[in-house]
């Protein structure tokens, strides 16, 4: 499972970085979303991967998984979601004003 997990993180991060460096705002936003998926998985894995281990102390259960990374990941997801929503709104406004989706559109007009 570790191998699959780490491959998924690596793939998401690499794709995210590639898209982040493109010149269309839309690709950049997609790239940031993928990057944040990869990062969230990494954060989740920092508590070690465990199957069938609840993060709660319940009677009769010996193995527990670390609850803290799950809380951290929740925070990170919420923040990342809000940021992406704002970024899309901002990109739409910039596109509406300059008429182009290029990241540098209108930069020479300053």
| Contacts to other proteins by CB under 8 A | 20, 25, 28, 32, 35-36, 39-40, 42-43, 45-48, 50, 66, 68-69, 72, 75-76, 79-80, 82-83, 86-87, 90-91, 93-94, 97-98, 103, 105-107, 109-110
Closer Cβ to other proteins, 61 or 68, answer by number: 68
Residues 31 and 33: their CA atoms lie apart, in Å, by 5
Closer Cβ to other proteins, 4 or 103, answer by number: 103
Single out the residue of 31, 7, 37 nearest to residue 17, CA to CA: 31
CB of 87 to other proteins, least distance (A): 5
Segment 11-19 long-range contacts (CB within 8 Å, at least 24 positions apart) = 11/38, 12/37, 12/38, 12/41, 13/38, 13/39
CB of 7 to other proteins, least distance (A): 17
- Give the helix ranges, DSSP H, for 1-110: 2-20, 25-45, 67-98
Tell me the two tokens of residue 12.
């998401």
CB of 56 to other proteins, least distance (A): 14
CB of 15 to other proteins, least distance (A): 13
């Amino acid at each position: 499972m570790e191998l699959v997990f780490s491959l998924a993180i690596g793939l998401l991060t690499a794709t995210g970085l590639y898209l982040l460096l493109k010149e269309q705002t839309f690709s950049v936003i997609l790239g940031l979303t993928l990057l944040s998926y990869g990062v969230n998985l990494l954060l989740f894995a920092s508590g070690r991967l465990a199957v069938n281990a609840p993060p709660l102390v319940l009677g009769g259960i010996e193995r527990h998984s670390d609850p803290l990374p799950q809380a951290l990941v929740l925070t990170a997801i919420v923040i990342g979601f809000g940021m992406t929503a704002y970024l899309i709104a901002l990109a739409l406004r910039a596109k509406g004003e300059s008429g182009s989706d290029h990241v540098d559109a209108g930069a020479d007009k300053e």
